[in-house]
Structure formats: structure tokens, C-alpha cells
Structure 1
């Protein structure tokens, strides 16, 4: 047997953990493999979750959108109805006429009242007389006024006839109620061209 001098390669420990060169860094490769597998698992799970959410959105999205739109329309409609109801309650109806503030017990329905046509409209005084009679006045005469008048008015001689004059004005839709002694009757109605009886409608 040939004896060779000992060199550094002869000083290898008896129990060595060294592996061959083809196994170099084996532990690093194993760790890298495990790390890559874990990352890949999370990527797959994320992709599956995204696909599930996308499928649910595709299936239920239109229905949910329609439901939300219907709910919004319903709330808007209810709000508009409440607003309309509030407006109707706040504003008096046009068909409702204001209640009279005149005490009928103070009205002299038997008092002679003259109704005069001051607008040169045929039948105006007779229409006023008819309206007064329908309202309960029993002594009404119709005639022509001596000069034309644009605004209708009811005149009374004294305070004792004021309520009766106001009632006559109410019946004939006249705003002007004036006291004067220069009239032919204690209560005198002068119908002007403002057409308070609505004959020209």
C-alpha cells in the first residue's frame, strides 16, 4: 500500500453534516419551496373570493339596484304627497266661502231698499233686486241711477241701517259701504260697471 503524505483533505471530521455539492443549499430550496407554496395558496384563495363576489354581483346586482330605485321613488312620492297635503291644509279651498260676520238678527229684512242701475246695462237693477229677494229682503225696488258709476256701492243714512247695508253688500258682492244722507232711501244700492253680479261672465 502506497503511503501518501496527509494533507488538508485528510482532516475531515468523522461525523460531518456536509452534503455533496449537488445537495448544496438544500435547506434554502426547501424553505423557498414552502414559502412559494404558501403564497400561491393565498393567491388562489383571493382569486376564488373575487370570482365569488363577481358572480354574486352579476346575479343579484340588477335586483338590488331595482329595489333601491323603487325604494327611493316611493320615499320621494310619499314626501311629495305630504307636502301637497300640508299645502292644502295651509291654504283655504277656493270653493269655501268665508263665513259671514254679520248677525242676521240685526238685519232689517223688511226695510225698503232701492237697487239702482248705474252702468247702463239692461236688466242690472232687476238682477240685483232678484238677488236681494232670494236673500230674504222683502221690500226691494229697482230703478235707474241718475248718472253712471264705475264702482258699485251701498249707502245708508244712519248707524241704525249700517248692518242692513252691510248685509246687502254681502249679497251683491259689493265692497264699498258708505254712510250719507243724500240718498233716496235709507238703504240704497248703486250697481256700477264693475259687474259685481257677474252678468258679463
Structure 2
């Protein structure tokens, strides 16, 4: 006999073949839990599939990974010293050496008008006093007239000025400008001085 008080479960005839209440088992005795193992395996596969394919597309789990990459990818600002050292040097390279300046061409010295040199004025016309008139104009302009005479050479068609050498050319051209004579001949060999020949048509 039991020492506990009797309850409603004890009201079973002692002669009955059934000795207690048994609950139905959830898993058939011959299955061995195979169905439960398959169900758990399918759930694990579903979670792995979602973590590998679906979560990355939704952006889940990537925020913490992208943050370090962003911070490490940010370029550092170069300091002033680094910028100065990186600046290109202004010194020209050997290939950029300055081109030598061309040598200036020597030019002949410009002729100078010399009013102090002797000037002869000769009359090659039949008009008396025409050489004196031309000489007076030259003396008024500051020229050194040393001779006034008649022309003894070949007849001339117009007035002309004869000079010797390039050093007398500028003075001979200036004499022509003063007297209005356009014909100026060099290296005539007539005289060592500049000679003014007053010909027909002189005024």
C-alpha cells in the first residue's frame, strides 16, 4: 500500500489489466527521429541561403565592413613642405639651354656731312656769273667754297656734282639738295675736292 493519500487516479479496479494512463508518443517508435533531423537540416539550409544571397542585396551586414574601407580610402592632404618639394624646379634642363644670340653684322659707319671740306664751283654755261650765284648759296649755307671758275671739260647737258670716295658722298648729296641738283657722280677722278658743275637749266 502507498503512503500517499488516494486520489481519483487510484479509483481503478485492482483486478483491471490496465495499470496506468499512457500518453501517445509524438514520434513513431520506428522512425528514430529521422523526420526531425530532416526538418532541422532544411531550416539550416534556408538560413544559410538567406545569409549568402538575400542579406547582401538588402544591405544587411555591410555597413560595418564599408566604414573602415571608406576611412582608409580617404586621401591624406599633403603638407606644405611636401607640396613645395613636389613643385618642379625652374632651372632649365640641358636640352633647354638658351640659344646663343646671333652675332651682329658689322655695318659701315654712316657718312657724315662735312661743310668744312673744300668745294669748287664751275660754270659750264655761257651765262656769266652763274657759278658765283651757286657759290653764294653754298656759302650762305655754311659751305667752304675755295674755287669759282669756268668748266674746261666736255659740254654737259645739265648740272652735276662730282665727288671722290665714299667719305665725300654724304657731303655731295647734301650739296645737291641745297642747289637742287639731282645728278651726283662718284669716283670721277676730276679733282680731290668736291666739284659742282653748273650746267644748262640751273636756276
TM-score by length of 2: 0.43
* TM-score for the superposition, normalised by structure 1: 0.43
Greater helix percent: which structure?
1
